[in-house]
Every structure is written in C-alpha cells, then in structure tokens.
Amino acid sequence: MKNEIILITGASGCVGQYTANWLIENSSTELILWVRDPKKITSINLENPRIKVLVGDLRQAKNFKRELLEVNRVIHTATAWGDPKRAKEVNIDAVKTLLNLLNPSKIKQIIYFSTASVLDRNLNLLPEAFTYGTEYIQTKAQCLSDLEDHQLSTKIIAVFPTLVFGGRLDGKSKFPTSYLTEGLRDALRWIWLARWIKVISRFHFIHAADIAFICGHLATSHFEPKQLVSRNNIKKLVLGQPHISIDIAIQTLLKWKGMRKVPQIPLWSWLVELLTILLPIQITKWDKFSIRQKHFIHDPVTTPETFGGISYAKDLNQILKNSGLNKQ
C-alpha cells in the first residue's frame, strides 16, 4: 500500500520543524515540505528519500499544481504578520488558493493553524478579533470564517495554539527557537520589577514538541479526541496546557533566578488604562481590548495526554529547564 503524502507549509518554522521531525521518526508517511528558504531547516535531513522540498512563497501555489494534486493531508502552519497587505495575501488569499488546488478525491484531512487569540473562552470566534485585531488577528479570524463555506470545510481541523515555546537559548537544540523562548531572557532581566506587581490574569501555553505530537497523531491515527468542538463544519482544537496565572509565572521565574517574593501591588485593568493615557505609551485597540479581557483561557484544551501521550513540557518549570536558560 502506498504511503500517504503529507504537505507541511511553513516547514522551516519552529512548529513546522518539530512536526516534520515527529512524522519522520514516528510514521512511514512521505512529506512535502514547503519553505521559502530550505537552509533554515536544521532538524531534518533533506536527503531523506521520504522528503520532497518545495521552495517558494505560499502565494506561488500555482507553481506546484502537480505536487498538490497528490497530497493526502495538509498541515498548514505558514503565516504572515506585520505588513497588512502581505498578511491578507498569505493568511487569507493564499490559503484559499492552496485548498482549491488540492484533489478533493485524494485529500483526507487539512490541519489548519490559527491562533487561540481569535477565540473566546468557549471556542467561539471573537467579534472583537475582526474589529480591533492586528492585521494578523483579523486575517486569521477572517480566514477561519471564510473556510466554513469552503467545499473542503468538513475535512478541516482548525488548531489554535496558545503561547508557544520551543527550541533552546544555549544553541544545543536542532530546532529553531520560538519568539516566546527568545523572550525568556528579557523576562528574567525585568523580574526584579515584575515581582512588585500583582497581575490578575490567566493564560495557557504549550511547547512546540507537544504541538508536533498532537498534530502527528491527528494526521496518522483515526482517533478523534472528545475535545474536538464542531458547531459548524470545521472542527476546532485549542492546544495548551491547563491555564496558570501570571502571578504563578512570576513566582516560578523568581524561584528560577533565586530571588525572594515581596509584597505585591495589584495592577487593576483600570489603572493600566489610566497609565496608558498619562504616560507616552502607544497601544492598539486590540491591546486595550486585551487589557479589559484580563483572562486568556479556553475550555476545553488539548495536550498530548489527550492522545495517551506524555507532555514534553507540562508546566513552566519544564519550559524553563528545556529552554536551556541559565539557572541562578
């Protein structure tokens, strides 16, 4: 029996490389890795006969019509932000073009990466994502909404990662370092100030290795977790560990750095908004909405344990340990 062909877009990114590596090591599938610069792939041997590389921008999908017609599954991680024009072209237009070039008789599954920021607590699309969101948030929300009416919508599983960690800071990982892991140094640099502030907020996080485990199982098994939410055509999964508070995060960082806890001053949302008015701080409408929302939590959330696995990083201590961050 011929092996299935899985296309991974954004395959040179942090999540893309973790996912491709998992599939190479844990399945017999053939992979098509779509990248703009193959030199950025550091975790995979591109000479592997199971791998084919497509080099080009996601907006050049028509250049790969022949390859796309053979694809059985898609794991779409590629995205764009910063420039509104490019964000729309990549996050909306190119996604629709890609799906339209797939062979409906061969394609079995599309794992579409969005962001948990566009969802409310109960996994419904936030109206504010369309009106206040950055170009990234708006285009992700709009694409998800548009895909509900696509002819392949029932084959789509939309995954919504929460805060993503990955790679290492000491250069000892073969995987790229995520933006959040890169930010851990700055977090420790400013922890002496943050320890005086009590922030009333909760959030989820997940490691890219755990995202790879989940997506790998979705793509290679018939198991559908009970966390799959499907109120319309598209099924949804929020990827994240159980939520923690910012206060717990600060305490964990303090312990890691060997610093004492101190009495904390509550930082209420109204006070934050007042400071943004009085001080020369520029914030967006989405920032203001986020300040008012306070908590960034979802129910349900999905972890490797959902599939009978063990999380690579189940808590913040494991995140710090796996990041290669120097401990005080």
0.85 cut: is pTM over it? Answer: yes
Token match 């060997």: residue?
Answer: 258
Tokens of 122: 């109960």
Residue 281 DSSP label: -
User: CA angle, 217 as apex, 214 and 220 as ends, to 5°?
Assistant: 150
- Rounded-to-integer distance, Cα 299 and Cα 97, Å: 32
Omega cis (within 30) before 300: yes
C-alpha 185/C-alpha 205 separation (Å) is 17
What does the pLDDT read at residue 271? 45
- Token pair 């008789």 in the structure block, residue: 105
> What pLDDT does residue 150 have?
95
Tell me the pLDDT of the chain (328 aa) as tens digits.
578 999 999 999 999 999 999 999 999 999 999 999 999 999 999 999 999 999 999 999 999 999 999 999 999 999 998 899 999 999 999 999 999 999 999 999 999 999 999 999 999 999 999 999 999 999 999 999 999 999 999 999 999 999 999 999 998 999 999 999 999 988 888 887 777 777 778 999 999 999 999 999 999 988 777 767 777 789 999 999 999 998 899 899 889 888 887 766 665 554 455 445 545 556 677 777 777 777 789 999 999 999 999 999 999 999 999 999 877 5
pLDDT of residue 154: 93
The 3-state DSSP class for residue 209 equals helix
* Domains assigned to the chain: 5-166+203-242+298-316 (3.40.50.720), 182-202+243-293 (no CATH)
**Alpha carbon of 219 to those of 5, 48, 98, 108: distances in Å?**
10, 20, 18, 9
Contact 31, 53 (CB under 8 A): no
The predicted pLDDT at position 246 comes to 87
pLDDT of residue 254: 87
Helices 285-293 and 269-278: angle between axes, nearest 10 degrees: 150
